[in-house]
């Protein structure tokens, strides 16, 4: 391969995992205020699966590749970049905002009018190189490995915003996490227990093996929803009170049981709809119990830095189930699709 070319795991057409291929594509150049990052590791996020399947309205041009969780080494800097130099070890904040609209000026970058994320609107880290705006980089400490760092950016920031700033979890809150074993879920569990000190933590999952993993991670009561209705079990476990906060990343059939699991004035925070975006709802429950519903999307710049701070100081530990070389992308995607994952799978490059 010439030095003008690089490898990328991308697709020309939407469809399914078998559309993904190892491509040879032009190596990008950094813009004047961008840094070209030599990617060492990129974690899968569920959005990477969604992107190949259905996100065609966002994609600027093809081939397209995902990768919202990226870590690497600075290879080249644009002419107006002052704070970074070749060789710096960095992690990429996947959230791209204008820094000028009313929301950005309030520090709410994920509400930006022209908000984008790497892997969904812009080509991500499933490639040898990625050009990144200089303000989207964060230093990875020398003693922290890049493969573990890559598992954090998208998922940890999303979980932190949802629980800390949208649902405002407090130490006397009982919290339920629906979809607790996934990438976002495994950070949510740790933020709820180790940082926000939730009183009791409940989590749902689909198998006994995953249930054991969640208990080890710190969930007080794990509910296997393939064996029992999780809302009935929450009702029993809380003496018919319900929980204060439910964090739901799944949507679909879990929506109504999530509403039913909440106590009066309970808060439901939602940042994904893996099982479907158009569930039936229960309006009476919402007004009779006076529930609060919060949408949440990735993170502001401050939330990203706060979440990554908890990762880098060891307060929360990314759960990396497997690291695979980039060429083994298909296995990584199938692990995620078949729900074999505890936490994350990371694609690595030398």
Ligand X SMILES: NC(=O)c1ccc[n+]([C@@H]2O[C@H](COP(=O)([O-])OP(=O)(O)OC[C@H]3O[C@@H](n4cnc5c(N)ncnc54)[C@H](OP(=O)(O)O)[C@@H]3O)[C@@H](O)[C@H]2O)c1
| Site residues for Zn ion per CB under 5 A | 97-98, 101, 104, 112
Q: Applying CB under 6 A, which part among 12-20, 58-66, 235-243, 266-274 lies near ligand X?
A: 266-274
Sign of CA dihedral 123, 126, 127, 132: positive
Tell the smallest beta-carbon distance from residue 134 to Zn ion (Å).
17
Tokens of 322: 């497997």
Q: Give the number of other Cβ atoms within 10 Å of residue 56's Cβ.
A: 11
* Secondary structure in 3-state letters for 82-125: CCCCCCCEEEECCEECCCCCHHHHCCCHHHCCCCEEECCCECCC
Strands 320-325 and 262-270: what pairing?
unpaired
C-beta of residue 187 within 8 angstroms of C-beta of residue 156 = yes
Tell the smallest beta-carbon distance from residue 299 to ligand X (Å).
8
Tell the smallest beta-carbon distance from residue 97 to Zn ion (Å).
5
Using the minimum distance from each CB to Zn ion, give the nearer residue, 111 or 195: 111
Q: Applying CB under 6 A, which part among 15-23, 74-82, 169-177, 245-253 lies near ligand X?
A: 245-253
Q: Considering only residues 146 through 175, tell me which ones interact with ligand X, judged by CB under 6 A.
A: 154-155, 158
Q: Using CA atoms, how far apart are residues 317 and 334, in angstroms rounded to an integer?
A: 24
Tokens of 26: 């032009």
Question: Does 125 interact with ligand X (rule: CB under 6 A)?
Answer: no
Q: Using CA atoms, how far apart are residues 155 and 175, in angstroms rounded to an integer?
A: 18
Query: Between 170 and 209, how does the x/- string for binding to ligand X read (CB under 6 A)?
Result: ---------x-xxxxx-------------------xx---
The closest alpha carbon to 151, from 337, 16, 307, belongs to: 307
Using the minimum distance from each CB to Zn ion, give the nearer residue, 59 or 101: 101
Using the minimum distance from each CB to ligand X, give the nearer residue, 258 or 271: 271
Tell the smallest beta-carbon distance from residue 64 to ligand X (Å).
16
Burial class (CB in 10 A: 0-12, 13-18, 19+), 329: buried
- Out of 140, 167, 176, 336, point to the residue binding ligand X (CB under 6 A): 336
- Out of 7, 40, 122, 210, point to the residue binding ligand X (CB under 6 A): 210
Tell the smallest beta-carbon distance from residue 108 to Zn ion (Å).
9
Q: Which residues pair with 222 in a beta bridge?
A: 203
Tell the smallest beta-carbon distance from residue 50 to ligand X (Å).
6
Sign of CA dihedral 9, 67, 115, 179: positive
Q: Considering only residues 90 through 119, tell me which ones interact with ligand X, judged by CB under 6 A.
A: none
Q: Using CA atoms, how far apart are residues 313 and 340, in angstroms rounded to an integer?
A: 28
**Position closest to ligand X via CB:** 182
C-beta of residue 19 within 8 angstroms of C-beta of residue 337 = no
Largest CA distance in the chain: 66
Which of Zn ion, ligand X, none interacts with 98 (beta carbon under 5 to 8 A by kind)?
Answer: Zn ion
Tell the smallest beta-carbon distance from residue 283 to ligand X (Å).
24
Between CA 43 and CA 54, with CA 48 as vertex, the angle to 5 degrees is 180
Size of the residue set binding ligand X (CB under 6 A)? 29
Query: Between 267 and 306, how does the x/- string for binding to ligand X read (CB under 6 A)?
Result: ----xxxxx---------------------xx--------
C-beta of residue 159 within 8 angstroms of C-beta of residue 166 = no
The closest alpha carbon to 161, from 105, 120, 110, belongs to: 110
Question: Does 331 interact with ligand X (rule: CB under 6 A)?
Answer: no
Query: Between 29 and 68, how does the x/- string for binding to ligand X read (CB under 6 A)?
Result: ----------------xxx--x------------------
* Residue ranges that bind ligand X, judged by CB under 6 A: 45-47, 50, 154-155, 158, 179, 181-185, 205-206, 210, 249-250, 252, 271-275, 297-298, 336, 339, 341
């Amino acid at each position: 391969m010439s030095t003008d070319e690089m490898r990328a795991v991308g697709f020309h057409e939407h469809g399914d995992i078998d559309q993904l291929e190892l491509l040879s594509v032009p190596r990008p150049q950094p813009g004047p205020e961008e840094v070209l990052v030599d990617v060492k590791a990129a974690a899968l996020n569920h959005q990477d699966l969604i992107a190949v399947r259905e996100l065609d309205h966002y994609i600027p041009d093809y081939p397209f590749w995902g990768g919202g969780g990226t870590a690497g080494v600075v290879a080249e800097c644009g002419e107006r970049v002052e704070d970074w130099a070749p060789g710096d070890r960095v992690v990429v904040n996947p959230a791209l905002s204008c820094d000028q609209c009313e929301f950005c000026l309030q520090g709410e970058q994920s509400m930006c009018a022209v908000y984008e994320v790497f892997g969904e609107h812009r080509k991500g880290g499933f490639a040898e190189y990625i050009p990144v705006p200089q303000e989207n980089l964060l230093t990875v400490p020398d003693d922290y490995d890049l493969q573990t760092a890559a598992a954090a950016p998208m998922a940890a920031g999303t979980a932190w915003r949802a629980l800390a700033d949208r649902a405002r979890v407090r130490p006397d809150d009982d919290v339920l996490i629906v979809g607790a074993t996934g990438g976002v879920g495994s950070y949510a569990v740790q933020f709820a227990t180790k940082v926000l000190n939730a009183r009791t933590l409940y989590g749902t999952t689909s198998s006994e093996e995953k249930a054991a993993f969640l208990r080890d991670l710190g969930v007080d009561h794990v509910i296997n929803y393939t064996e029992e209705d999780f809302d009935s079990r929450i009702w029993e476990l809380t003496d018919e009170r319900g929980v204060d906060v439910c964090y739901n990343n799944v949507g679909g059939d879990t929506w109504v049981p999530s509403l039913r699991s909440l106590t009066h004035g309970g808060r439901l925070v939602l940042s994904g709809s893996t099982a479907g975006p158009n569930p039936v709802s229960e309006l009476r429950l919402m007004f009779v119990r006076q529930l609060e519903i919060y949408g949440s999307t990735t993170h502001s710049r401050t939330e990203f830095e706060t979440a990554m701070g908890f990762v880098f100081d060891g307060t929360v530990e990314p759960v990396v189930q497997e690291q695979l070389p980039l060429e083994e992308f298909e296995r990584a995607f199938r692990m995620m699709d078949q729900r074999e994952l505890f936490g994350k799978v990371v694609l690595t490059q030398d």
